[in-house]
Amino acid sequence: MSIFTKLAASKIANELLLPQAVTAALELIINKALAMNINTSVSFSAVAQKTLTLKLAELSFPLSFSVNSSSKPVVVIVSTLAEQSDCSIQTSLYTLKKLKDNQSLTQLIKQDELDVSGDLKVAQQFANIAQSLEIDWQSELANHLGDVPTHKLLQFGNKVTKSFSTKSKQLEADITEYVVHEKRLVVCKSQVKAFNQRTKEIANDVSAISKRVDKLIADYASK
């Protein structure tokens, strides 16, 4: 993305109050997740009053996560204030996914996919908290829907997930098969073009011969 496109995107995002909408939505989701957490061993003391800032390539504004442990229950505040950050991470959503898949942090830093400034321990502590959260979705849903509908809904959900997983695996296998084996055997565009050209030439030749034969027959009949 060029610098001008980035600037224009940032301006439009600001006009639409997108940074504020994103931070409000994230804050709501995170604090809802914290409220539903059933793992009582999660401790926020290590990150109390600490701020982790995430600068994602896909977003034109930073996301700062601060833990306020003085209020009960503990809340996480999400804002675009990045000046007072204890740890700042500059990366992309794609790289974050790689991090989740346990790809080496050092390797990603070396490849310039990740830039960390400040206290890396703060980021690790935030990540540890996020990983240790446990939410009992079934009982949360049951509180709203009732036990039987929740059971049926989850059963249906599991069935759909299983079916989707099987279909996606099949699709992946088919694509692999095509890329590895079939693609080599498939004729390329230029070959199809040459074939069409040759067919056209043959059709023209046949047509010329046909005309000549007709002419010869006509000549023979007139004699």
Partner 1 sequence: MSSSDQIPQENDLPKSQQTPMNIDGNSTTHFGYKTIEKDDKISMVAGVFHSVAKQYDVMNDLMSFGIHRLWKRFTIDASGVRPGNKVLDLAGGTGDLTAKFSQLVGREGKVVLADINSSMLNVGRDKLRDKGLVQNIEYVQANAEYLPFEENTFDIVTIAFGLRNVTDKDKALRSIYSVLKPGGRLLVLEFSKPEHELLNKAYDFYSFNILPKMGEIVAKDGDSYQYLAESIRMHPDQETLKSMMDNAGFEQTSFKNLTGGVVALHKGYKF
- Contact residues: partner 1, CB under 8 A: 17, 19-21, 23-24, 49, 66, 68, 70-73, 75, 77, 79-81, 83-84
Quick one: 27 or 140, whose CB is closer to partner 1? 27
Whole-number minimum distance, CB 49 to partner 1, in Å? Answer: 5
Quick one: 68 or 155, whose CB is closer to partner 1? 68
CA distances in angstroms from 31 to 37, 56, 127, 130, 133, listed in the order given: 10, 21, 15, 12, 12
Whole-number minimum distance, CB 51 to partner 1, in Å? Answer: 9
What span, in angstroms and rounded, lies between the C-alpha atoms of 220 and 120?
A: 99
Whole-number minimum distance, CB 80 to partner 1, in Å? Answer: 5
Beta-strand runs (E) in the chain: 51-56, 63-68, 75-79, 87-91, 115-118
Token pair belonging to 119:
């206290």
Q: How would you class 88 by CB atoms within 10 Å of its CB: exposed for 0-12, middle for 13-18, buried for 19 or more? A: buried
Whole-number minimum distance, CB 45 to partner 1, in Å? Answer: 13
Whole-number minimum distance, CB 177 to partner 1, in Å? Answer: 50
Asked if 78 contacts 30 with a C-beta cutoff of 8 angstroms, the reply is yes
Quick one: 75 or 153, whose CB is closer to partner 1? 75
Quick one: 51 or 150, whose CB is closer to partner 1? 51
Asked if 55 contacts 82 with a C-beta cutoff of 8 angstroms, the reply is yes
Quick one: 32 or 211, whose CB is closer to partner 1? 32
Token pair belonging to 39:
């793992």
CA distances in angstroms from 142 to 31, 137, 138, listed in the order given: 20, 8, 6
